Structure 1
Amino acid sequence: MHDNRQNLAGYLALGGAASIWGGMYVVSKYALDFIPPFTLLWLRYLVGFAVLWALVVRTGLAQPFSRDRRTFMTIGFIGYFVSVGLQFIGTRLSSAHMGAILTSASPAFIIIFARTMLGERLNLRKIASVAMATAGVLIVVGLEGGGSGNRVLLGNIALLGAAVTWAILSVLARRASITYSPLVITTYAIFWGGLFTTPAMVLEWQFVPVTGLDRPLLWLAVLYLGVVATAGAFFLWNKGLQLVEASVGSVFFFLQPVVGAFLGWLILGEHLGASFFIGGAVILAAVLLVSIPSKAGKVLKGNREG
């Protein structure tokens, strides 16, 4: 019973994080009209770190040991700087469709790294759920290539790199959760992520100006991205990975394109065709497949045999 409650809490946390990130693109679409990508990312990390640091101090959680500093630096660099940066670059060079397809390869890489780095066992249900969810994403976003040429090729390579590095982040966060709370992991990883983003932001200023700083709605968007989409969602993702196996939790990553497309329809008036509903149903079925407790599956099997 305790394991079932723990798994349910993990599923809710992972589903919440993926849903927040799916809806984040609606807000980001507005903010990026005025603030360039790495500057917006830096602002997200600044706001997110301020909120999380206040919570860490208030709760009196144990600070990282000096021997683990490299772990937090690695999570911040690989996950919060390289992965998100490659996603920005790849989407800009390629297309949103290819971005959704290629970054959704993360769960497959998470399963591989969870096996090699954490020793998590593979089974048919995990593999089948990732395969189903991948098919669902392909149905939702379509199979258009989004163009051709070296620019798109470089963009697609960057997007694939984003998928691989996000998988490494998820596995490293899962391993760090053995010693530290998700709040501490998220706080210090965001700190290092923001630090590594700073040079890229300064370099970006030489080519892309920041505008619209007199718009209150823009600052509300930045606050939302920092507090909810960064501090809140990263914490929920790391919390979920503490409660369930990384290879199981990886499937919830696929909820992002479904939520993003739905909110795009609801808020921005974007068109949704039959492919959205078919693909969304396949993705939800994959999430249910990996979420059903194995004991329940054995009971059902026993009843059929009886």
Structure 2
Amino acid sequence: YWALEHTQALNTLLLQSAGPLFVAIWSLLLLGIRLTLAQAGGLAVSLTGVLVILLQGDLTTLKNIEFNIGDVIFVAALLIFGLYSTLTFKRPQIHGLSFVGFTFGCGAAALVPLLIWELMTRPMMQFDTANLLTLFYVAVFPSTLAYLCFNRGVHLIGANRAAAFFHVIPLFGAAMAIVFLGEHPRLFHVIGFALVLTGVFVASRKPATAG
């Protein structure tokens, strides 16, 4: 959220595509788990699909991208979330709600000094209907429910296989733009969707075990 105050959404979406790489690095350093050839290949295919969607099939779009301090902040966030994703695989054997409650409690406590600083340096948030509904949505859906599902997914299939699904975020974003914003589907959407889904399917498959 802080990064988006300084950079454009396209930058963060492109950088977010590197999320699985951060998870793979942490998994190797902390758990000694390497990407399989299928996982690496699948991630490469799905990443290609992401770029097709974000760049709308036009590589010349890259020349218009300017990186700034917001991008550095976002890379730091990816580094931290990659560590969280990896360590989630080794989380204590407690109920998913208890784990989310504990991590959210620690996170909220760590944010108290920043909250005080923001209240002292920025205007107070307006408690109107739009802002309250926005807070409700962020608290319930992308926070609580999303983390419950993500934590469970990592626990079941491991961080490297779960990280492949990072690449469906731009896919869902494009799909919702078509449904809710009236954008028209184009050929690059179809190609990008196909590449992302194929890559995620390959990367998230359970590795074959020796007989």
| TM-score, normalising length: structure 2 | 0.85
Determine the structure 2 residue equivalent to 1:129.
Answer: 42
Q: Distance in 2 between matches of 1:144 and 1:207?
A: 34
The one of 192, 216, 241 aligned to 2:106? 192
Structure 1 residue runs without a partner (length 5+): 1-87, 299-306
Equivalent residues in 2 for 1:77-116, closer than 5 Å: 88-116=1-29
Is the 8 Å Cα contact of residues 164 and 204 (structure 2) preserved in structure 1? no
Q: Whose helix fraction is larger, Structure 1's or Structure 2's?
A: 1
Q: State the AA in 1 paired with 2:115.
A: M
Q: In 1, distance between residues paired with 2:14 and 2:124?
A: 30
Q: Give the whole-Å Cα distance in 2 for the aligned partners of 1:103 and 1:114.
A: 18
Answer whether contact 2:50 2:167 (CA < 8 A) is retained.
Answer: yes
Partner residue of 1:144 out of 46, 49, 62 = 62
Structure 1 segments, 4+ long, off by >4 Å, are none
Which of the numbers 118, 122, 128 marks the counterpart of 1:204? 118
- The aligned residue for residue 120 of structure 1 is 33
Q: CA 1:145–1:188 in 2, change beyond 3 Å: closer, same or farther?
A: farther
**Aligned partners of 2:26 and 2:159: how far apart in 1?**
9
- Cα distance, 1:294 vs structure 2: 4.2
- 1:147-162 maps to which residues of 2 (within 5 A)? 147-148=65-66, 152-162=67-77
How far the C-alpha of 1:274 sits from its partner, in A, is 2.8
In the superposition, relative to structure 1, how do residues 90 and 272 fare at CA in structure 2: closer, same or farther (>3 Å)? farther
- Distance change >3 Å, CA 184–CA 139, structure 1 → 2: same
> Which residue is equivalent to 2:138?
225
Structure 2 counterpart of 1:276, from 186, 189, 206: 189
Residue 270 (structure 1) shift = 4.1
Change (3 A) 1:183 1:158: same
- 1-side partners of 2:64 and 2:5: how far apart? 11
1:127 Cα deviation from its structure 2 partner: 0.9
Aligned-pair Cα RMSD in Å: 2.3
Partners of 1:273 and 1:99 in 2: CA distance? 23
Contact 1:120–1:245 at 8 Å: present in 2 too?
A: no
Q: Does 1:264 align with 2:177?
A: yes
1:291 aligns with 2:204: yes
CA distance in 2, matches of 1:105, 1:121: 16
Distance (whole Å) between structure 1 residues aligned to residue 112 and residue 128 of structure 2? 23
Residues 151-209 of structure 1, C-alpha deviations (whole Å, 9 max, x = no match): x42122122222211111101111114x3343322111111111222322332232244
Partners of 1:265 and 1:272 within 8 A in 2: yes
TM-score, normalization by structure 1: 0.61
Deviation for aligned residue 1:235? 0.9
CA distance in 2, matches of 1:161, 1:146: 23
Matches within 5 A, 1:61-72: none
The residue that corresponds to 1:172 in the other structure is 87
**Partners of 1:271 and 1:188 in 2: CA distance:** 43
How many pairs align?
204
Contact 2:11 2:65 in 1 (8 A): no
CA distance in 2, matches of 1:198, 1:272: 44
For residue 147 of structure 1, report the CA deviation from its aligned partner. 4.8
Q: Report the Cα offset of residue 99 of structure 1.
A: 0.4
Q: Do the aligned residues in 2 keep the contact of 1:258 with 1:280 (CA within 8 Å)?
A: yes
**For residues 276 and 198 of structure 1, do their structure 2 counterparts lie closer, same or farther at Cα, with a shift above 3 Å needed?**
farther
- Structure 1 pair 145–222 and aligned structure 2 pair: CA distance change class (3 A): farther
Which AA in structure 2 matches 1:104? S
